[in-house]
Amino acid sequence: RGGSELVQALPPAVFVRHGAHNAETRLESLPVGRLVTPNDHFYVRNHGPTPRLSPTDWRLEIRGDAALRPVSLTYEQLVALPTVTITRYLECAGNGRAYFSELLGVAVEGDPWRDGAYGVAAWTGVPLATLLELAGLRGSAAWVMPVGLDAETYARPMPLAKAMTADTILAHRMNGEVLPMDHGFPARVVVPGWIGAASVKWVGALEVSAREPAVEANTEEYVMLGADYRSPPPVLTTAVVKSAVCLPWPAVLPAGRRTIHGLAWSPFGKIAKVDISLDGGRTFTRTARLIGDNLPVAGTWWQLELDAPPGDVTITPRAVDEHGPTQPSLSQQRPNDKGYLFAAPVPHPIRFV
């Protein structure tokens, strides 16, 4: 344990910092058309400093009242197990939080992320199902909680069925590299399609239990609080369909024929299309062209050709998932106290000069 800050250098051309431990990607710094986010561009969301864990001391404990025989694995044993590689996105539940105040005029708690707490990686690791089978499950097993080795423990449970999904893995590599420290070295869970908070980093244990453990991350954080929600507050699981323009905020561009680029992603499947509004989201009169890879539970790049006279415009993308889900209108967007799951289309301000 130890370490006071982040390990990775976070250049301001690539990241916007939110406090000491958090940084969102400037989407305009990404290589256009390449869906996978380079590791050194991937957003970082930490509840505290990055723990520097030694792979020789580290152990993965699989234990709990619903585990038949507790197991302890070394790093070498973990990486020797058969792996899968899945390309999936992670997004913080607070991504887009700035827009609750900027577009809806409601004050919410937390860092004002725009759209950059989103990233795609090819994750290599061992399915949680494989690991849980090593310990064996009692008939009572119903919850699995990955526990992080942060200085202040971070843990968040998921139902057994979600843990047993082929897609839910304990990753030890990211885009072909050993998992970077800020992203959870030696191993992190990846729970595709769920809010990033489910994808626990620096995992030291998988706890299998009959009952749902109550921890901060499912009672106080990552729950829906506010006038629209009753107690007990709904625990956040699945993320929402989103899209973004990959330009600085606000953007200044030369007038004339321009190609605008953006990203769109969905926790359900591929992106079917991206509609574009040039009037602030009232009417969607254009359709963007999807470019490069379009992968389920990862996303796609899109582009729009535009003849832009000098002046101010907003470009508002709206993504549609292949199974139908889309982004709600701003008037349908309900607020919540902690500013989670902002889903409405965002009018991106651009000045053509």
Residues lying near ligand MTE in the complex (CB under 6 A) are found at: 42-47, 90, 92, 148, 150, 154, 183, 196-197, 199-202
- Draw the binding track, 1-40, toward Mo ion (x: CB under 5 A; -: no contact): ----------------------------------------
**Nearer to ligand MTE by C-beta: 53 or 131?**
53
Q: How far is the CB of 153 from Mo ion (least distance, A)?
A: 16
| Contacts of range 173-176, beta carbons closer than 8 Å, 24 or more positions apart | 173/83, 173/85, 173/123, 173/124, 173/125, 174/39, 174/42, 174/121, 174/122, 174/123, 174/124, 175/36, 175/38, 175/39, 175/121, 175/122, 176/122, 176/124
Count of CB atoms within 10 A of residue 32's CB? 14
**Nearer to ligand MTE by C-beta: 47 or 258?**
47
* Number of residues this chain uses to bind Mo ion (CB under 5 A): 4
Strand-pair partners of 159? 143
- Draw the binding track, 79-118, toward Mo ion (x: CB under 5 A; -: no contact): -------------x--------------------------
CA distance 156 to 235: 11
Residue 148 is a binding residue for Mo ion (CB under 5 A): no
What part of residues 190-219 is at the interface with Mo ion (CB under 5 A)? 196-197
CA distance 262 to 8: 26
Q: Pairing mode, if any, of strands 251-253 and 348-352? A: parallel
Residue 156 is a binding residue for Mo ion (CB under 5 A): no
Q: Is 341 left (phi over 0), alpha (psi -120 to 50) or beta?
A: left
Residue 45 is a binding residue for Mo ion (CB under 5 A): yes
Q: How far is the CB of 305 from Mo ion (least distance, A)?
A: 35
The residue type of 325 is: P
Q: How far is the CB of 151 from ligand MTE (least distance, A)?
A: 10
Residues that bind Mo ion (CB under 5 A): 45, 92, 196-197
